Structure 1
Amino acid sequence: MTIQSNTYLSLGTNQGNKLENLQNAINLIDDRIGGIQNISSVYKTPSWGFKGEDFFNICIEVSTQHQPETLMNSLLKIENDLGRLRSNEDGYQNRNIDIDILLVNDEIIFSKTLIVPHSKMLQRKFVMIPLAEIAPNAIHPIEKTKISVCLLNCDDSSEVTLTNETLKRPTPIYEKYNYIAIEGNIGAGKTSLANLLSHEFNAKTVLERFADNPFLPKFYEDNERYAFPLEMSFLADRYQQLTDDLAQYDLFKNFIISDYYIFKSLIFAQVTLPKEEYLLYRKMFDLMYKEITKPDLYIYLFQNTERLLENIKKRGRDYEQSIETSYLKKIHNGYKNFINTEKNLNLLIIDVSELDFVNKPEDYNYIVNKIKTF
């Protein structure tokens, strides 16, 4: 089970377009670290410990899987990507962005590279005021006291002024969608993407049980003989699985992701069945389709035929090695017709022909951002 940590961060800036600096940092944290749960108001404070421009300061709450040391390295990378230049001079300095880890759940960490809770947070009103705004009841794990009480005990005399500036909280995927279905041709990467998204966003997965179908190997050996029992068994199994799993929400998961949508049954049946059998199959399908929960987001992964064949060969399922290009093209055309005619789906098409989202984080992040901004 994926462990999500509630982490509180302090962000500050006193150079350039300060509001833009904060928003850019928030967006990158959302992209690379985890979902932004809360953002405080923006506070203006005088430079602390040196002479410089006034700061804009905020605190944010982030839900993340990252371990604290990994989190710290990721935040340093975000600072660098946003143009922060560190000096070898001692003391406090101007900066276009500064991100500090304040709290990670109720953990206490003393290492060579990281101290949590932040060692100086209790002495700084520009930290405690925005933190108390979004987490008044959070407990400081060393003081064993609520943050709101810690603020009252803070003897910092600095002037902290509430501004009228506002920042936008990126909407997490799990707040936009209850159920996402991922579809695509054979070998497009549906299951791989479903598992990656599930791991990052703490989703319940509904994965197709193709390995349990006794007709599948026989179908690839003798299409005509086994097409109808294969498609009927897939339809019955998909209907039962989706009916059961979509009806049972997991209180410990944020949403549901499946690596198929039941309409794929009709697409494959159109390709594999003769006309008379298909008409009978369609009657059964229409009865079941009325009862199935429709996804809030339908993602279609487009993969060119050459890459599909490479992926099929690479994953090494014996019964798939005889799949021909013509069969994959027929399946693709079936999906294409479905996409063009099914107007009620919230459809996102992603071309993954040139992507390796399993092995390249930048390709995976590209897909995640496509979903977030859709």
Structure 2
Amino acid sequence: MKIQRTTYFSLGTNEGDKLSNLQEAINLIYQEIGVILKIASVYKTPSYGFTGNNFYNTCIKVSTHLPPEQLISKLLSIEKKIGRIRTNSNEYSNRVIDIDILLFDDEIIFSENLIVPHPRMLERKFVLVPLTEIAKKLNHPIEKKSISSCLENCSDNSIISVLEEQLIRPIPITEKYNYIAIEGNIGAGKTSLAKMMSDEFNTKTVLERFADNPFLPKFYEDNERYAFPLEMSFLADRYQQLTDDLAQFDLFKNFIVSDYYIFKSLIFAQITLQKDEYKLYRKMFDLMYKEITKPDLYIYLYQNTERLLKNIKKRGRDYEQNIEADYLQKIHDGYINFIKTQPNLNILIIDVSDLDFVKNNEDYQFIINEIKNYNA
């Protein structure tokens, strides 16, 4: 589990579409740094330390797992993406965006690239006014006084006015969804993604217990003989696990990620069972399916067949090594047919064929941003 820390940023801009600059900065911070917990109002302030356009300023409260040095690097990158060009000059100037770290938990940091608390924050009303709005009782770690007290003692007499326009707080995954089910073909990476999301968001997980099924190795040796007992045992186990595990969690308080959804039982059964077996199986499935909690978001990870075969070979499960491409294609077709017939299920399809989200953090962040930005 990644440890989350609380940090406060000051955002300012006095060039171009100033509201859009602030919103873009907030959106990028959400995508690349962490959850936006609070956003202050936008304040119109005069330029500070030089003659220039009026600024729009705000402060935000952010939860992040990034350490301070990595955090400042990310913020500089975000400024650059929005269009800021930094110079070697120490003089104040107009800028499309300026993002400063004000506080990082209650830490005091002195390093070559970062000083926290920000050394000049107590001198600036355009920082203290919006910061007081969202953190008035928070103590400054050096002054040992609340932020609101620091504002009262600030000697800056700049005229600051609040604007009516409001910035939009991006809704994090943990607030947007309570229960996400991740699905995909054999070797698509659904369990890996579920575990990574659990680590990232401190979620409860429900992971399929396929390794405990005694019929699975036998099925790959003799499909026809062991298909029905395999599918029935999987259905019973999945039903029991989902009903038992989900019952333990409060779906309104916990964020839950599972690496399967019970409908996969029907998809595989359609492929492996004889016609008469499938009819009996379907009756049992329909009874169980009515009782299963439906996910808020169903994610289907698509991997092309060539990549799936490589992944299966790499993970080295003996009983999977003889799986053929046409079997994987049938499974994929089954998932697609299922997706087409589920208008009431919130479904997101992500093509991960060219991604290695386990080893490459950028690929993992791409998937997370797909989930963050998805709107049904």
8 Å CA contact 1:182, 1:300 repeated in 2:
yes
Partner of 1:354: 354
Counterpart position of 1:5: 5
User: 2:79: which partner in 1?
Assistant: 79
C-alpha offsets along residues 276-318 of structure 1, whole Å, 9 cap, x if unaligned?
2222222222222111110001111122211211211122222
Alignment partner, residue 291 of structure 2 = 291
Instruction: Give the letter for the 1:213 counterpart.
Output: N
Partner residue, 1:20: 20
- Check whether the contact 1:205–1:258 (CA below 8 A) recurs between aligned residues: yes
Aligned counterpart, 1:332: 332
| Match runs of 1:237-276 below 5 Å | 237-249=237-249, 255-276=255-276
Structure-to-structure mapping, 1:32-181, within 5 angstroms:
32-181=32-181
With 288-297 and 191-200 compared, the bigger mean Cα shift is at 191-200
**Which residue does the alignment assign to 1:303?**
303
Which whole-Å deviations, capped at 9, do the CAs of 1:236-274 have from their partners, x for residues lacking one?
2212221122222379x8511111101101111111122
Q: Distance in 1 between matches of 2:313 and 2:13?
A: 52
How far did 1:163 drift?
Answer: 1.6
User: 1-side partners of 2:302 and 2:136: how far apart?
Assistant: 47
Amino acid at match of 1:16: G
User: Aligned residue for 1:215?
Assistant: 215
Give the superposition deviation at 1:198: 2.6
Q: Which amino acid aligns with 2:240?
A: Q
Q: Which amino acid aligns with 1:363?
A: D
- Counterpart Cα distance in 1 of 2:178 and 2:39: 23
Residues 208 and 259 in structure 1, CA contact (< 8 A), matched pair in contact too: yes
Unaligned runs of 5+ in 2: none
Corresponding letter in the other structure for 2:290: K
CA distance in 1 between counterparts of 2:198 and 2:146 reads 33
Residue equivalent to 1:226: 226
Partner of 1:202: 202
Aligned residues: 374
Partner of 1:366: 366
- Alpha-carbon deviations, 1:149-181, whole Å to 9, x = none? 222222221221112222121111111111011
Give the Cα–Cα distance (whole angstroms) in 2 for the partners of residues 222 and 18 of structure 1.
67
- 1:359 positional shift: 3.3
* In 1, Cα distance between equivalents of 2:138 and 2:244: 38
Distance 1:51 1:175, change over 3 A: same
Question: In the superposition, relative to structure 1, how do residues 154 and 66 fare at CA in structure 2: closer, same or farther (>3 Å)?
Answer: same
* TM-score of the aligned structures, taking structure 1 as reference length: 0.94
CA contact (8 A) 1:204 1:250 kept: no
CA distance in 2 between partners of 1:218 and 1:270 (Å): 19
Please give the alpha-carbon distance, in whole angstroms, between the structure 2 residues aligned to 1:222 and 1:131: 67
Look up the equivalent residue of 2:65 and give its one-letter code: Q
Provide Cα deviations, 1:39-76, integer angstroms capped at 9, x if missing partner.
11111111111221111110011111111111111111
Q: Percent identity?
A: 72
Q: Which moved more, 1:174-183 or 1:337-346?
A: 337-346
- In 1, Cα distance between the equivalents of 2:113 and 2:288? 57
Alignment check: 8 A CA contact 1:202 1:254 kept: no
TM-score, length-scaled by structure 2: 0.94
Distance 1:228 1:107 in 2: 60
